[in-house]
């Protein structure tokens, strides 16, 4: 079909499908980021369905990529079957993405409750490199540049602090801008002051909110794609009827 209106619709469908692909990549990267961060710090969370949420987010990303590729193909073909399949996938994407957003919202409002074991993990700190619990605490403090649960003074009440003589914080609390820091309590300005619970919460909340905001973009793109492909389907039917009448 060579009429300008149809060509314009196909071009718009092609470009919008490419946008769907880009959004799919963004959602996938966000899902992988959330999976990595949650996996690294899972012991600081109570048992939750966060893993399920991540899987739904990644699944929605895969569907977005497939739908974007199919949309690009549909823009090059005059197949009613492909167009019908494309509309079906748009509905599936809407359902899965809505589920992912609902789960993300649920975790964003219950995150403080899910992080209830945080204080217990710090309390069980031993400072030993052979203790997986201690390694997790040190790794998080170094990565997030934080110290303690609420702030660095939380260490003053831990069993490890009292057993170690009550003279220093863990080396992982040392601010990297002070190379000579040895964790001594007499030089608190060389220690990270912000608490780790708040910093980790920011990381997880960022990923959850990214997924929720991406849903709005997905819905807008989907509406545009749905309108365009429905119009193409009408045009194809109309052209076929005209051919049949001539014959």
pLDDT tens-digit profile of 163-199? 888 889 999 999 999 999 999 999 999 999 999 999 9
CA distance 143 to 189: 19
Report the pLDDT value the prediction gives residue 176, as an integer from 0 to 100.
92
Q: Which two tokens stand for residue 123?
A: 């309390």
pLDDT of residue 230: 83
Q: What is the distance, to the nearest Å, from the Cα of residue 135 to the centroid of all Cα atoms in its chain?
A: 25
pLDDT of residue 8: 85
Instruction: Tell me which DSSP letter residue 148 carries.
Output: S
- pTM of the entire structure? 0.84
| Distance, CA of 162 to CA of 159 (rounded, Å) | 5
| pLDDT given for residue 1 in this prediction | 44
Per-domain residue ranges of the chain: 4-116+198-246, 147-193
Alpha-carbon distance of 86 to 50, in angstroms, equals: 30
List, for the chain, all residue ranges whose pLDDT scores fall below the cut of 50. Answer: 1, 244
pLDDT of residue 234: 76
């Amino acid at each position: 079909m060579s009429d300008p209106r149809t060509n314009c619709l196909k071009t718009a469908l092609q470009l919008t499908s490419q946008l769907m692909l880009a959004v799919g990549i963004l959602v996938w990267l966000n899902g992988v980021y959330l999976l990595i961060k949650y996996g690294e710090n899972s012991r600081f969370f109570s048992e939750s369905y966060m893993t399920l949420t991540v899987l739904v987010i990644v699944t929605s990303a895969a569907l977005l990529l497939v739908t974007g590729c199919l949309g690009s193909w549909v823009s090059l073909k005059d197949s009613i079957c492909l167009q019908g399949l494309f509309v079906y996938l748009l509905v599936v994407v809407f359902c899965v993405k809505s589920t992912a957003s609902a789960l993300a919202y649920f975790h964003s409002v219950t995150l403080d409750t899910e992080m209830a074991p945080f204080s217990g993990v710090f309390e069980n700190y031993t400072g030993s490199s052979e203790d997986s619990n201690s390694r997790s605490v040190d790794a998080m403090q170094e990565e997030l540049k934080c110290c303690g649960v609420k702030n660095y003074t939380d260490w003053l009440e831990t069993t490890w602090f009292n057993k170690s003589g009550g003279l220093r914080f863990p080396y992982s609390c040392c601010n990297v801008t002070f190379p000579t820091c040895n964790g001594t309590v007499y030089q608190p300005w060389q220690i990270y002051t912000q608490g780790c619970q708040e910093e980790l919460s920011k990381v997880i909340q960022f990923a959850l909110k990214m997924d929720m905001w991406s849903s709005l973009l997905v819905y807008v793109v989907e509406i545009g794609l749905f309108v365009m492909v429905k119009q193409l389907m009408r045009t194809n039917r109309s052209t076929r009827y005209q051919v049949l009448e001539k014959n």
